[in-house]
Every structure is written in C-alpha cells, then in structure tokens.
Amino acid sequence: MALLEVENLKTYYFTLRGPVRAVDDVSFELEKGKVLGIAGESGCGKSTLAWSLLGMVPPPGKIAGGSIYLDGMDIAKMSEEELRRKVRWKRISMIFQGAMNSLNPVYTAGAQIEEVLTYHGNMSKLDARKRMYELLESVGLDRSLSKRYPHELSGGQKQRVVIAMALALEPDIVIADEPTTALDVVVQAQILNLLKRLQREKGISVILITHDLGVIAELADEVAIMYAGKIVEYGASEKIFYKPRHPYTYLLMKAVPKLKGPKESLIYIPGQPPDLVSPPKGCRFAPRCPWAMEVCSKDPEELTIEGPHRVACWLEKVSPGRTLELPKKA
Ligand code: SF4
C-alpha cells in the first residue's frame, strides 16, 4: 500500500462570486522514499493542494470532498486537534515558500527549531537544544548560527534553517513548496543538493512543488502536471520529459529557454489560466490549446498509457501515442 493516497480531492475557496475550484478532483499516490514533483503555472492549485495535505487551507477555503489516506487513516476527516497531535511535523511537514516569511523575525533560528521539538515533539529543553545543534549541522550550518535572528542570515542560510525545522521530528513526508524561489542560482544548486542528500539518507518521501521544470528533472521520480485545479498528466519523470502526451506539458517544456543549439524564438503559452469560479466547459486548457478540436468541449477522459503514466486529453484518444509537434506558425 502507498504511504499517501489522495483520492478525488476537492478543495474550494467559498467566495461571494461562488466557489473557486482550486483543487478539483485530484488523485495520486506517493510511495515511501519517493519524490513526487508537482508542476504547473502560478494559480493552478499546487500550493492549495499542499495546504490540503496538512489541513491548513486558509479561509474561506476548505476541503469540499475526497480523501487523503496516510497509512490508511483519512486525514481529510481529522479535527484540527488530531491533525496537530498526529500529523503535522511528525508525519508530514512542510518547507514553506519564501524562508523569510516563514521564520519569525523576533526569535533566533535556534529558538524556532527548539520550539518545534518541545511543542510538537514533547522534548525536554535540554534534549531539544542538543537535537537543534545536530539538525543545524545536518543542513550544513555551524551551531553558532543558532543565536542569530533571521535578518542576520543570508537567503541560503534561512532556507537551511527552514529545512532543519521541517526535518526536526523525522517526518515520513516533507512537502517542499517552491524551495528555491528567490535564491540565486548558486544557492539554488546547493539547496537542491542538500534536499537530494537528506532525502536519500533519511529515506523520506518528498512532494516537491515548483513551476521550475529543471528542479523537478533534478529530483523527482514521478511528476504530476497541474492545470486549472486538475492533474492533466502524471507519470515517471523520464516518460514525461522524454515524451509528454498532454499539450500543456509539451508547451511548458518548450517554454524553457535552451542554452545550447541554434538560436530559436522563445515559445510561450498564449492567454491566461481560466477563472476557477466558472472554468470553461470540457477541457479547461482548450482556449489556449493549439490542438483543440470540437470534442474538447466535453470533459476529456483520463487514459492510462503505461504503468502510472496517465493523461487527460482527447488527442490521446483520437491518435494514441502521437508525438506532439508545434505547428510551424504557432
Ligand atoms: Fe487540447 Fe483537446 Fe487535449 Fe484539451 S483535450 S489539451 S483542448 S487536445
């Protein structure tokens, strides 16, 4: 049985205009020790999905349907108290987007790690101090940095402190939400290498949320591509990167600038993601899809290609196995 099984999850924000369907009927599994990358444009529901897994969706949002099984327990049905006692930090923890915003500016780095250990892990102050030093060292920081306030640390050091906090109680799953955003490329590479090393050493499962396909290619075993609240393609990284089957996945990859080879015009995806209060009927990507057909006005069936590889697109039904290629003028 998979460590985490998400089934038909729906998380909506209930606004005066109507429900915003930020996560709409999403299903996936995560096995122990594996890395799942979740990619898509801003506003496609990636962060809402992450908050749902921790029961931390900000109001007016809430889980409107579906299940999240962690070792067989449905955490979508748990109370706030149960989530705090049994799940957060201990079983699932999170590296939040933007280290500066997730650290408290009036406490030292060491005090913030110790708080996780004493409050959520019920450790004595003395044990928490020892463990805090071990954690700092495991993320490549000197223990003397424990006395510094967040504003006295560099971006990379803050991100390492946040990673140490996420690992403090040895959770089974760590959700990393855009862990390298706002860091320069050298520090990005250091943080990615650190995550890779810790994930392998500790055998933890990671859900890596990013809009950067390069980061996913570096770390993920499997990839879920999200568009407008839905997973449109899912599969092993090499399958998705080698031969994407969904036009959105294909165009996302084409939009990554190439450093080698002849100069080519940059490809971009025209238009904007839809309003999730009233998304288009049928395929939500249809207004931006160069391959859209009449049948796309109906909801696309999800088709299994091979193993875990699946895609929700009519093109796969009409011409199975087709290699996508952008029409010359597009
Ligand atoms: Fe494009 Fe149709 Fe596939 Fe949607 S279902 S991605 S509109 S081809």
Closest CA to 2 of 39, 37, 38, 27: 27
Q: Residue whose CA is closest, atom 3 of ligand 1?
A: 313
Q: Report the residue count for the chain.
A: 330
3 lines ligand 1 (CB under 6 A): no
- Cα angle vertex 162, ends 57, 158, to 5°? 125
Which position has the higher pLDDT, 98 or 108?
Answer: 108
Asked whether the beta carbons of 280 and 287 are under 8 A apart, the reply is yes
Mutate-to-test residue for ligand 1 from 251, 252, 314, 318, highest number of ligand atoms within 8 A of CB: 314
Q: Residue 265 C-alpha to ligand 1 middle, in angstroms?
A: 24
Cα 35 to Cα 19: distance, rounded to the nearest angstrom: 31
271-298 pLDDT per residue, tens: 999 999 999 999 999 999 999 999 999 9
Give the amino acid at 316: E
CA distances from 204 to 83, 158, 301, 315, 316 (A): 20, 22, 33, 37, 34
Chain CA centroid to CA 192, Å: 14
Q: What pLDDT was estimated at residue 330?
A: 46
138-175 pLDDT per residue, tens: 999 999 999 999 999 998 899 899 999 999 999 999 99
Q: Residue 289 C-alpha to ligand 1 middle, in angstroms?
A: 6
289 lines ligand 1 (CB under 6 A): yes
Given the CA of residue 300, which atom of ligand 1 is nearest to it?
A: 5
Query: If DSSP codes are grouped into helix, strand and coil, which group holds residue 109?
Result: helix
Asked whether the beta carbons of 326 and 267 are under 8 A apart, the reply is yes
Q: What pLDDT was estimated at residue 183?
A: 77
Q: Inform me whether the pLDDT recorded for 316 exceeds 60.
A: yes
Mean pLDDT of 183-205: 86
Which of these ranges, 43-52, 111-120, 145-154, 313-322, has the smallest mean pLDDT? 313-322
Mutate-to-test residue for ligand 1 from 226, 230, 246, 283, highest number of ligand atoms within 8 A of CB: 283
